[in-house]
C-alpha cells in the first residue's frame, strides 16, 4: 500500500467541537498553573501594579493569536507551529527544533505545575515540609502523572469542561473575595498603582521582566489549533472563539492580580508559594475559603501537568517514530498501547529540571520553571509571526481564510523576540534551563544521525502532520 493510499484509508477525525466546546477548551487550556502560582513573583518585580504585566502579556498573546488564526484557518490541520515552520521555511532541522522546543515547553510547564501542586498540598493539609519535602512531593506527583500517562487515560472534551469549571471556580472565588473585602473597606487601593521595582531595574525593565514571567499564564491558546480537524466549520468559528477566550482569561487575570495586591502586601504575596490562598485568608478571614482554595489549586495545576506531559511524550514518540530521534523512544507498550519509553524519558527530564532548580537556593523554583516555559514558547511565537508573512505567497482555496492585518505579525514578532532576549530582564537561570534542553535535543539528534547511518536508514524527513500518530 502506498503512503498516499494509506493516508486516504485512515478515517478523518470526528468533528465534534462547536463554538461552546471550543471556547471552554481554549479557556481551560489557558487557565491553570500560571495565575495560581506566579502572581506573587510578578508583584515582586513591579510592586502593586502587578496587573500591568498581565495586561501586557495579554496584548502580546492576542497579537500572536491573530497570526495563529490566519494559519489555522489557512491550514486547518492538527500540527501547530511545527507545520507552519515546515511550510514557511522547509528546513528539516528547523522543523525538528521547533517541535523539540514545543515539547520541552510542555515538560517545563508540567514541572512548574508539580512544584505548585506540592506547595498547595502542604498548605491544604497544614504540613511544614520544607524545601526538601516539597521537592519529594513534586517528584512523587510527577511519578503519578507518568503512571496515569502509561495507563493511556485520554482527555475527552467532556472531561475538559469539568476541569475548566473547577479551575475557573477558584479564580472567581478570589475575585468575589476581593469584591467582598473592597466593599467592606479592607482593601488598600494605593498599592494597586504603586511601582516598587528592584534597585537594579528601572520601571520599563521591571515591567518587561514581569511580563516575560506573566506570559506563562497566557500560554495554552496555541494548543487549540491542534483541535482544528475536530471542530465544526473551523474557518468560521475559530477567529471569534479564540479572541473571546483570550479576552475572558485576560480580564480574569487582571481582576485577580488587582484583588491580590489590594488585599495582601507585596512582600508576603511574593514570599508565598500559594499566593491566592494568602488573598483568600486576608480578604475573608471568617470564611474557610483559604481551606478550600489549595485543593482547587491542586486540581487546576494537576490538570495542567497531565495535559502537558501527554503532549510532550506524544511529540517525542512522534519524532522517534519518524527516525529523527533514537528509535527506542518510539516503543509502545504491548498491552497499554502507550509510548512507555517516551513517557519515562520525559518524566526523567522533568525530574532533572525540578531537582536542578531546587538545589539553587538563589532561584525561585516556580518562577524559574514558568519563566523557562514562556521563554521557549515566545521563541516559537516569534517564528510563527514571521511564518505568517512568508506564507502570504502560498494561496490556498479561494482565499476565504482569516487574514490578519500585516502590521500585527510584525509587532508580534518584534515583541516576542524582545521578551526572549536578555534585555527584557529575564533571570539567567531561565536561559540556563532552556540551553540545557536545547543541548539535549541536539545530542539526541546527533545520536540519531549516527545510528541511522550505521543502520543504513535513509535520511529522515520530519512530517509535522504525523507527529501525534
- Distances in Å between the Cα of 33 and the Cα atoms of 37, 38, 52, 147, 273 are 6, 8, 19, 21, 12
Domain limits of the chain?
Answer: 15-395+402-466
Is the distance from CB of 28 to CB of 163 less than 8 angstroms? yes
Greater confidence (390 vs 458) lies with 390
Instruction: Flag whether pLDDT at 266 surpasses 80.
Output: yes
Instruction: Flag whether pLDDT at 297 surpasses 60.
Output: yes
Instruction: Flag whether pLDDT at 431 surpasses 90.
Output: yes
- Distances in Å between the Cα of 231 and the Cα atoms of 26, 143, 214, 464 are 12, 33, 29, 19
Determine the average pLDDT of the residues in 421-429.
85
What is the grid cell recorded at 247?
A: 479576552
Say whether 22 sits in a helix, a strand or coil: helix
pLDDT band at residue 361, thresholds of 50, 70 and 90?
A: low
Give the whole-number percent of the chain exceeding pLDDT 90.
25
Greater confidence (51 vs 327) lies with 51
Determine the average pLDDT of the residues in 121-129.
86
Helical segments of 75-202, H only: 81-89, 92-125, 130-151, 157-183
Greater confidence (113 vs 154) lies with 113
- For 323, phi then psi, to 5°, come to 65, 30
* DSSP bridge pairs for 195: 47
Residues 6+ apart with CB under 8 A from 434: 104, 372, 375, 376
Instruction: Classify domain 15-395+402-466 by CATH architecture.
Output: Up-down Bundle (1.20)
- Reported as a single tens digit per residue, the pLDDT across 333-352 is 887 778 889 899 999 999 99
Determine the average pLDDT of the residues in 404-411.
94
At residue 15, the pLDDT reads: 60
Neighbours of 291 (CB within 10 A): 14
Say whether 17 sits in a helix, a strand or coil: strand
pLDDT band at residue 152, thresholds of 50, 70 and 90?
A: low
Say whether 231 sits in a helix, a strand or coil: strand
Neighbours of 169 (CB within 10 A): 15
At residue 333, the pLDDT reads: 80
Determine the average pLDDT of the residues in 213-226.
80
pLDDT band at residue 362, thresholds of 50, 70 and 90?
A: low
Instruction: Flag whether pLDDT at 137 surpasses 50.
Output: yes
Greater confidence (400 vs 147) lies with 147
At residue 103, the pLDDT reads: 87
- Reported as a single tens digit per residue, the pLDDT across 47-83 is 888 899 999 999 999 999 999 989 888 887 656 788 8
Determine the average pLDDT of the residues in 131-151.
89
> Mean pLDDT lowest for which of 216-220, 225-229, 403-407, 432-436?
225-229
Neighbours of 396 (CB within 10 A): 11
Residues 6+ apart with CB under 8 A from 85: 94, 95, 98, 383, 384, 387, 464
pTM: 0.85
Total residue length of the chain:
469
Instruction: Flag whether pLDDT at 356 surpasses 60.
Output: yes
- For 381, phi then psi, to 5°, come to -65, -40
At residue 413, the pLDDT reads: 95
Instruction: Flag whether pLDDT at 212 surpasses 60.
Output: yes
| Average pLDDT of the residues of the chain | 83
- Distances in Å between the Cα of 357 and the Cα atoms of 306, 372, 374, 433 are 21, 11, 16, 9
Instruction: Flag whether pLDDT at 199 surpasses 80.
Output: no
Is the distance from CB of 15 to CB of 232 less than 8 angstroms? yes
At residue 360, the pLDDT reads: 73
- For 422, phi then psi, to 5°, come to -60, -25
Is the distance from CB of 443 to CB of 405 less than 8 angstroms? no
pLDDT band at residue 226, thresholds of 50, 70 and 90?
A: low
Grid cell 507551529 in the structure block, residue: 81
pLDDT band at residue 200, thresholds of 50, 70 and 90?
A: low
Greater confidence (355 vs 195) lies with 355
At residue 458, the pLDDT reads: 65
- Reported as a single tens digit per residue, the pLDDT across 4-26 is 444 444 444 456 567 887 787 78
Residue of 26, 9, 2, 75 whose CA lies nearest to 252: 26
Amino acid at each position: 500500500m502506498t503512503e498516499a493510499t494509506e493516508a486516504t484509508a485512515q478515517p478523518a477525525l470526528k468533528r465534534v467541537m462547536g463554538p461552546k466546546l471550543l471556547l471552554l477548551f481554549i479557556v481551560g487550556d489557558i487557565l491553570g498553573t500560571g495565575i495560581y502560582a506566579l502572581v506573587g513573583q510578578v508583584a515582586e518585580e513591579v510592586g502593586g501594579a502587578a496587573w500591568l504585566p498581565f495586561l501586557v502579556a495579554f496584548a502580546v498573546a492576542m497579537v500572536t493569536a491573530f497570526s495563529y488564526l490566519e494559519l489555522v484557518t489557512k491550514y486547518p490541520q492538527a500540527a501547530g507551529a511545527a507545520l507552519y515552520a515546515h511550510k514557511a521555511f522547509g528546513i528539516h532541522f528547523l522543523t525538528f527544533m521547533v517541535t523539540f522546543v514545543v515539547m520541552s515547553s510542555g515538560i517545563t510547564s508540567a514541572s512548574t505545575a508539580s512544584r505548585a501542586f506540592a506547595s498547595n498540598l502542604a498548605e491544604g493539609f497544614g504540613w511544614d515540609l520544607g524545601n526538601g519535602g516539597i521537592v519529594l512531593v513534586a517528584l512523587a506527583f510527577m511519578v503519578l502523572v507518568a503512571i496515569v500517562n502509561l495507563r493511556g487515560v485520554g482527555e475527552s472534551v467532556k472531561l475538559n469542561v469539568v476541569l475548566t469549571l473547577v479551575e475557573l471556580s477558584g479564580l472567581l472565588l478570589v475575585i468575589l473575595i476581593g469584591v467582598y473585602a473592597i466593599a467592606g473597606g479592607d482593601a488598600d487601593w494605593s498599592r494597586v498603582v504603586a511601582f516598587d521595582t528592584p534597585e537594579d531595574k528601572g520601571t520599563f525593565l521591571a515591567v518587561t521582566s514581569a511580563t516575560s514571567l506573566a506570559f506563562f499564564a497566557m500560554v495554552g491558546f496555541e494548543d487549540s489549533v491542534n483541535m482544528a480537524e475536530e471542530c465544526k466549520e473551523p474557518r468560521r468559528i475559530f477567529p471569534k472563539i479564540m479572541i473571546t477566550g483570550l479576552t475572558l482569561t485576560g480580564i480574569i487575570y487582571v481582576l485577580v492580580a488587582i484583588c491580590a495586591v489590594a488585599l495582601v502586601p507585596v512582600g508576603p504575596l511574593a514570599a508565598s508559594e500559594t499566593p491566592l490562598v494568602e488573598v483568600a485568608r486576608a480578604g475573608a478571614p471568617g470564611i474557610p475559603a483559604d481551606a478550600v482554595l489549595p485543593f482547587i489549586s491542586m486540581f487546576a495545576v494537576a490538570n495542567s501537568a497531565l495535559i502537558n506531559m501527554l503532549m510532550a511524550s506524544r511529540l517525542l514518540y512522534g519524532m522517534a517514530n519518524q527516525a529523527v530521534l533514537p528509535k527506542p523512544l518510539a516503543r509502545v507498550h504491548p498491552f497499554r498501547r502507550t509510548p512507555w519509553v517516551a513517557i519515562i524519558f520525559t518524566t526523567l527530564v522533568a525530574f532533572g529540571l525540578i531537582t536542578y532548580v531546587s538545589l539553587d537556593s538563589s532561584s525561585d523554583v516556580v518562577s524559574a520553571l514558568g519563566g523557562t516555559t514562556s521563554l521557549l514558547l515566545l521563541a516559537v511565537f516569534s517564528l510563527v509571526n514571521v511564518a505568517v508573512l512568508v506564507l502570504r505567497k502560498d494561496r490556498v482555496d479561494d482565499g476565504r481564510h482569516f487574514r490578519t492585518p500585516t502590521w500585527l505579525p510584525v509587532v508580534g514578532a518584534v515583541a516576542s523576540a524582545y521578551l526572549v532576549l536578555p534585555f527584557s530582564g529575564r533571570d539567567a537561570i531561565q536561559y540556563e534551563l532552556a540551553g540545557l534542553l536545547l543541548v539535549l535535543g541536539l545530542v539526541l539528534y546527533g545520536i540519531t544521525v549516527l545510528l541511522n547511518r550505521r543502520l543504513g536508514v535513509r535520511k529522515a524527513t520530519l512530517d509535522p502532520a504525523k507527529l501525534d500518530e
